[in-house]
Structure 1
Amino acid sequence: MVTPVSALPSRPTYWCEATAQPTTGGNTCWLGSYMARSPRLALRWFTCRVRDVTDQLDPHYAAPGRHWLTNDAEHERARTFLAEGEMYTLTLHDDTTRYVLSARPTGTTR
């Protein structure tokens, strides 16, 4: 017997996005996005983007992002948020720009 695709179990997906927003107004700049198939994969993409952003910041402004990169408890918190259907966001900034990184469940896909 063949099982129709509509009867197969659905899997959640997670939309991950990074943006740069000027603090003085102006247009938001899209830095990248990714559709992950699990909270773990979403966090992997998220971690790479946090590293990319912090690499571009002066050391003083990069410190919170560098701390986040080594904070295993916060990574577990992020995975838990996503697995429970909640959005996870991290905001970094310097004098002129706010960097917003987010991951959120999008529902299911077949």
Structure 2
Amino acid sequence: MLKNKALIYIFFIFCCVIGCKKTGEFHHVLLYSWSEDAADQNKGAFLEIFENLPSAIKGLENVHIVKLENSLDRHDILIDMTFSSKTILKSYQNHPDHQKIEQYAIKVIQDYSYFQYTMK
């Protein structure tokens, strides 16, 4: 199971690398599994916070939200956040909107995982 998960991550990174336009971009990728009792309205509100982040955080270049159709670990959503540097990611972690995401996740997220990568 762990081997399959690693292969999925490697494949995803390969796909993202093809689409990356700038050397040095730093990607923070989140994989979420919805709680069984999470209402669609709450899921939408949770994702909306992510969608609005690039306008709120200088250096957060974009956020891609992908609905997963099939996942070995039963993740439902993948969020790929592109930062201009790792330093911007660190400052984002203290941003009020990140705190809002953490609080909202308690209501709608059952499980999550993440990985990070950069272009050289």
TM-score bracket for the superposition, by shorter chain length: 0.3 to 0.5
Relative to its length, the structure with more helix (as a share) is 2
**Of the two, which has the highest radius of gyration?**
1
Q: TM-score, normalised by structure 1?
A: 0.37
Relative to its length, the structure with more strand (as a share) is 1
Q: Which has the higher contact order (CA 8 A, sep 6+)?
A: 2
Q: TM-score, normalised by structure 2?
A: 0.34
